[in-house]
Amino acid sequence: MLQIHENVSLQNFNTFGIDASARYFVEINHEDDLVELFLDPQWKTIERLVIGGGSNLLLTQNFNGLVIRMNIRGIEHRINHTDVFIEAGGGEVWNDLVNYAVKWEFAGLENMSLIPGSVGASPIQNIGAYGVELKDVFDSCRAFEITTGEFKTFDKAACQFGYRDSIFKQHKGEFIIVSVKFHLSLVANINTRYGAIEQELNNRGIVNPTIKDISQVVSHIRVSKLPDPSTIGNAGSFFKNPVIPVTEFEPVKAQYPDVVNYPAGEGLVKLAAGWMIEQCGWKGKVVGNTGTWKNQALVLVNHGGATGEEVYGLSSQIIDSVYTKFGVMLEREVNII
Ligand SMILES: Cc1cc2nc3c(=O)[nH]c(=O)nc-3n(C[C@H](O)[C@H](O)[C@H](O)COP(=O)(O)OP(=O)(O)OC[C@H]3O[C@@H](n4cnc5c(N)ncnc54)[C@H](O)[C@@H]3O)c2cc1C
């Protein structure tokens, strides 16, 4: 029997540590729970928010609807020659899945070690880090469609993955991801292209890194760069790195020759949002109870007692100043609720 709780604090359910509450709250442990929940028509019409680890959310007010917390567990794998297929419940912790793969020496997830959050949220913004994106290892996912009450399978093409984007982000709230299947390999394709990985491997004297080495090195770099949400509230990168046409990039480059940029496909350039924010003087700045992280200006933090509105206000100021200086509009990566 499903338990619907009322007036639940969400402070421990979002990594920003924002003190907001949910009018109704339910935890989903099995696929059948979703079927049972939506047999009651009141939950189909009320405002809903699906959450996993709450590591990509900014709660700007109390949520006057139903929060659905995904907690479906389980990890299974199947090996076919050198191909490995791992299927994990949407409520599994992402890094537990990475550790499972590393332990079995299944290659593909190691560069995405230590990303916070759940497996079910990983396709939503096509998570990525250190040169690898979810889409590179994604096979398919199973999702509950709220309007029809049916479970559907999405293959990679159906997910329409882009940079921090997918069909689930475009059609927010229509589907609840209950499990994700990944296509890994017994043959390691070690990816050390991201500068800091090479450097840290050199520091450790590792010449032929294993999957485990990469996972450990990536975890080490992340811990040294990013604030730990258990001690200082944050949601990782607050903004996306803007991707702009070369024609718009040229005048920026002419004025700021050292602008940090990467090729992003035919006629497109990706700019480093963190660098631009830093150039505007925001790095490490404290504004009331909030601010930007001292080692990475792209990360907004809660220094204690910040409201979601305060953090949102700071993000608006940052967007304005980057636009004024560079003529480039930043887009928030974090989901604003
Ligand atoms: C310190 C730190 C570092 C980070 N580093 C990275 C990084 O390197 N790369 C990166 O890509 N991200 C990064 N993030 C962001 C975050 O970890 C990812 O976006 C992660 O996938 C969010 O998972 P979650 O379970 O916490 O999602 P939540 O924050 O709970 O939800 C995020 C969004 O997904 C939706 N959602 C969640 N679960 C489901 C589901 N089962 N079905 C349907 N919709 C769902 C929610 O409604 C919401 O819109 C970082 C965050 C932090 C705090």
Verify whether ligand 1 is closer than 6 Å to residue 111 (CB atom): no
Of all residues in the chain, what percent carry a pLDDT higher than 70?
A: 100
Average pLDDT over the chain, rounded to whole? 96
Q: Of the listed 48, 69, 142, 164, which one is catalytic? A: 164
Confidence of residue 180 (pLDDT cuts 50, 70, 90): very high
pLDDT in tens, 237-248: 999 999 999 999
Nearest-CA residue for ligand 1 atom 22 is 117
Contact 289, 302 (CB under 8 A): yes
Contact 298, 277 (CB under 8 A): yes
Contact 322, 226 (CB under 8 A): no
pLDDT in tens, 277-295: 999 999 999 999 999 999 9
Confidence of residue 193 (pLDDT cuts 50, 70, 90): confident
Verify whether ligand 1 is closer than 6 Å to residue 88 (CB atom): no
250 is catalytic: no
Calpha distance 209→157 (Å, rounded)? 32
Residue 66 has pLDDT above 90, yes or no: yes
Mean pLDDT, rounded, for 121-132: 96
25-29, 108-112, 172-176: segment of lowest average pLDDT:
172-176
> Residue 202: enclosing H or E segment and its boundaries?
helix 195-203
Verify whether ligand 1 is closer than 6 Å to residue 124 (CB atom): yes
- What amino acid is encoded at 336 in this protein? I
From ligand 1's centre to the CA of 119, what distance in Å?
9
Residue 235 has pLDDT above 90, yes or no: yes
Buried b (16+ CB within 10 A) or exposed e, 203-225: eeeeeebebebbbbbbbbbbeee
Residue 23 has pLDDT above 90, yes or no: yes
Residue 144: partners with Cβ closer than 8 Å, 6 or more residues away:
31, 34, 35, 150, 151, 175, 176, 178
Residue 195 has pLDDT above 80, yes or no: no
pTM over 0.85: yes
pLDDT of residue 1: 81
* Residues listed for the chain: 337
Verify whether ligand 1 is closer than 6 Å to residue 90 (CB atom): yes
Verify whether ligand 1 is closer than 6 Å to residue 59 (CB atom): no
Calpha distance 324→110 (Å, rounded)? 39
Verify whether ligand 1 is closer than 6 Å to residue 123 (CB atom): no
From ligand 1's centre to the CA of 168, what distance in Å?
13
Calpha distance 262→277 (Å, rounded)? 17
* DSSP bridge pairs for 107: 185
Q: Which two tokens stand for residue 279?
A: 């150039």
Q: What is the maximum span of the chain, computed from C-alpha positions, in angstroms?
A: 64
Mean pLDDT, rounded, for 160-168: 95
pLDDT in tens, 250-268: 999 999 999 999 888 899 9
- Exposed (0-12), middle (13-18) or buried (19+): which is 23, by Cβ within 10 Å? middle
21 is catalytic: no
pLDDT of residue 194: 81
164 is catalytic: yes
From ligand 1's centre to the CA of 328, what distance in Å?
25
Q: Of the listed 55, 122, 237, 315, which one is catalytic? A: 237
pLDDT in tens, 48-65: 999 999 999 999 999 999
Calpha distance 47→50 (Å, rounded)? 10
- Exposed (0-12), middle (13-18) or buried (19+): which is 179, by Cβ within 10 Å? buried
Mean pLDDT, rounded, for 291-307: 96
